[in-house]
Every structure is written in C-alpha cells, then in structure tokens.
Amino acid sequence: MEFLRTNRLKVVYTKDEYLRDIIEIEKEQNDNGFVSLWSMSKHLNSMEKNDSLHLTILDNNDKFVGYMIINFENKNMELMRINLKNRDEGYGFEIIQEIIRYAFTKTDVNRLWLDVRHINERGIYLYKKLGFVKEGELREAVLHKNKFLNVIIMSILRSEYEKNIFRYS
Ligand SMILES: CC(C)(COP(=O)(O)OP(=O)(O)OC[C@H]1O[C@@H](n2cnc3c(N)ncnc32)[C@H](O)[C@@H]1OP(=O)(O)O)[C@@H](O)C(=O)NCCC(=O)NCCS
C-alpha cells in the first residue's frame, strides 16, 4: 500500500519481500559506520508497531531504492532511519523534503528530528540543506570498529517549518 509519492519515487509500507534488500544495504552502511544493524526479527517487530512506520522506497519501475523507519511519540516525529541504495542522485533530498511536508501538513507533530553520526558528512550536509537545525551532540555515544562516534541530534520545529514554508513548496 502506498504511503506517499514524489516525482521519481514512491514510498510503500514495507512487506516481508523487501527485507532481504533492506538487510543487505543495512549491512553495507553498518560497515561504513552510518547505521546500526538490526536483526530480521527487529525489523519485523518494527513493521508491526502502532507508533512506527516501516517504509520501503521504490522507483517508478518498482525497483528497490531504500527504506525509512519513522517513530511517533509525544507530538514528535523521529526519522529514525533512512538508508538508500542509490546515493548522490538527489533521492535523499526528494524524499526527506516530502517527509518534512508530511510531518507538518498531515500530522500534528511539533518537532521532526533525527540523529546522525558525526562521520556522516553527506547526511549532515543534506539535513542542514533541508533546514534541520543542530540541537546538540552526544559525545562518544556509539562504538564502531573500536572507535567511539559522536551522535548529532537535529530537528525542525513546526514554527520553523511555517516560517520557511516557501523552501518546502
Ligand atoms: C544520507 C542519505 C540518505 C542521503 O541521500 P542521497 O540521495 O545520497 O542525498 P542527495 O543526493 O539528495 O544529496 C546529497 C548531497 O550531499 C552532498 N555530498 C555527498 N557527499 C558528501 C560529503 N562527503 N560531504 C558533504 N556533502 C556531500 C552531495 O553533493 C549532495 O549535495 P548537493 O545536491 O547540494 O550537491 C543517503 O546517502 C544514504 O542512505 N546514505 C547511507 C546511509 C545513511 O547515511 N543514512 C543516514 C543515517 S542518519
């Protein structure tokens, strides 16, 4: 079932058949230190949770592009995970811009937030470009290959979305 659509992409609720592709790119990006690795059963649990959205991103030919996991709590929406197979093609910008619009036009959340590891220069650049504001940095919060990585928290508030609405339309 379709969740949302952009010019080049469609976002659907994750089905079991996509989990093989999801785990494969998750392994790759876990190795790079950008995302943590979940077991199949953790993904399956998240697909069933009422306060989470486990979403698969497809291109217009239904080819697997990536996935996202979104959580809702206390008028906050967390873009907990986004992981794309095809990078640097503008898909991240396209899809996250649509997620921002969704958050502030289709739900009543006050804050859309995410965390990103400090080594993820591409992610940090893109989130800033999309209007995310750095809230702070959790020092040495994640262990990856014997090194501790800092985790940066970034967010957009509803008031910021409304003030800068032109950049999202
Ligand atoms: C992070 C991610 C979602 C971004 O999506 P994407 O489709 O690759 O991003 P886009 O192509 O829309 O934009 C990437 C931008 O970063 C820039 N960029 C690429 N590498 C960069 C780097 N090392 N440092 C800074 N900017 C960089 C690109 O030039 C582009 O900017 P521009 O369009 O202004 O020229 C995607 O790359 C991804 O899934 N990465 C692996 C997993 C991951 O890091 N997930 C996020 C965890 S928080």
Model pLDDT, residue 46: 95
Domain count, the chain: 1
CATH number of the domain that 9 lies in? 3.40.630.30
Centroid of ligand 1 to alpha carbon of 1 (angstroms): 27
Query: Which residue's alpha carbon is at the smallest distance from atom 26 of ligand 1?
Result: 122
As a whole-number percent, the residues of the chain with pLDDT over 70 amount to: 100
Whether 31 lines ligand 1, by a CB cut-off of 6 Å, is no
Average pLDDT value for residue range 151-165: 97
pLDDT band at 1 (very low <50, low <70, confident <90, very high): confident
Compute the distance between CA of residue 69 and CA of residue 52 in angstroms, rounded to an integer. 7
Q: What is the pLDDT of residues 84-131, one digit of tens each?
A: 998 999 999 999 999 999 999 999 999 999 999 999 999 999 999 999
Q: Can you give the pTM of this predicted structure?
A: 0.97
Average pLDDT value for residue range 20-39: 95
Model pLDDT, residue 34: 97
Query: Which residue's alpha carbon is at the smallest distance from atom 29 of ligand 1?
Result: 88
| Structural domain range at position 143 | 2-168
Q: What is the mean pLDDT of the chain?
A: 97
Model pLDDT, residue 28: 94
- Which tokens go with 1? 């079932």
Q: What is the pLDDT of residues 58-70, one digit of tens each?
A: 999 999 999 999 9
**Contact indicator for 82, 47 with CB cutoff of 8 Å:** no
Average pLDDT value for residue range 2-24: 96
Centroid of ligand 1 to alpha carbon of 86 (angstroms): 10
Angle between helices 121-129 and 91-106 (to 10 degrees): 50
Average pLDDT value for residue range 153-162: 98
pLDDT band at 169 (very low <50, low <70, confident <90, very high): confident
- Which tokens go with 151? 């985790």
Whether 56 lines ligand 1, by a CB cut-off of 6 Å, is no
Cα-based angle 127, 101, 111 (whole degrees, multiple of 5): 65
Model pLDDT, residue 71: 98
Q: What is the 3-state secondary structure (H, E, C) of the chain?
A: CEEEECCCEEEEECCHHHHHHHHHHHHHHHHCCCCCCCCHHHHHHHHHCCCEEEEEEEECCCCEEEEEEEEEECCEEEEEEEEECCCCCCHHHHHHHHHHHHHHHHCCCCEEEEEEECCCHHHHHHHHHCCCEEEEEEEEEEEECCEEEEEEEEEEEHHHHHHCHHHHC
Average pLDDT value for residue range 148-157: 98
